[in-house]
Amino acid sequence: MNTVQRFHDRALDYVKYRPGYPAEAVQAIVDGLGPPQRLRAADVGAGTGISARLLAERGVRVVAVEPGEAMRHAAAPHVNVTWVSGMAEATGLQHESVDVVLSAQSFHWFDPAAALREFARILKPGGRLAIMWNRRSRDDPFTAGYRQALLDVGAEAGAERMSFDPAVIRQSGLFLPAERLTFSNAQRLDLDGLIGRARSTSYAPKEGAGAEELLRRLRELHARHADACGLATMIYETEIYRAIRRPFPW
């Protein structure tokens, strides 16, 4: 599977309908590293820049590394964000040039060992790796129903369903043991937002019988759970694994 091209026709839905990240989670990425205005971060697999802009709003200078041309072009500009074309395994960034490497909602698409080697290469000594996801609740009825609708029409890749094993960080030998942090997150969605959220996923069908079936299921799901304002709430847990690059000679 070409993981870059999977999102070529989903960039606009990604911009409009993907959830953000809670302020506490974004702060945790840079906590203890000094004044944000002095930090330089690489957001690798940056997509349309959701996490890059949140860091940039804190004053961090961010290099957003994204191989997908459509995703880069759909991103809203920010004075503190510079966009480059690059892969997680070969960012093109200079050796020991950033204080933070962030992978937000993207690490499952990478070659883990090669990506971690590249992240360690571009991090300064003592720099921080942060791997972050919005994990959908399995307990909330609306959120669980959304996941089931995707699974029933084959609209979620195996890579997206895999849980992250933090042992890959330890096994790389490049980082100190990872710390796991979690934060509550939620996304309020009208019907168009729910449909757009589904269409932003890599395998959601956009035409044909599968697309019609997905729309039917989503309409029924939203009708069951929408409040008086016509909104339903998707529940997430924002999960971050933080690790410090080991000091070692190259």
The average confidence (pLDDT) of the chain is 92
As a whole number of angstroms, the distance between CA 214 and CA 206 comes to 9
As a whole number of angstroms, the distance between CA 211 and CA 213 comes to 5
Mean pLDDT of all residues in 14-37: 95
| Model confidence pLDDT, tens digit, residues 40-57 | 999 999 999 999 999 999
Tell me if residue 240 falls in helix, strand or coil. Answer: strand
Mean pLDDT of all residues in 170-190: 96
* Domain boundaries, given as residue ranges, for the chain: 5-135+159-185+237-244
Give the domain 5-135+159-185+237-244 fold. Rossmann fold (3.40.50)
As a whole number of angstroms, the distance between CA 178 and CA 26 comes to 17
Mean pLDDT of all residues in 202-208: 82
The region of weakest confidence among 22-31, 68-77, 90-99, 161-170 is 161-170
| Per-residue model confidence (pLDDT) at position 9 | 58
Element (DSSP H or E) covering residue 114: helix 112-122
Mean pLDDT of all residues in 29-46: 97
pTM over 0.95: no
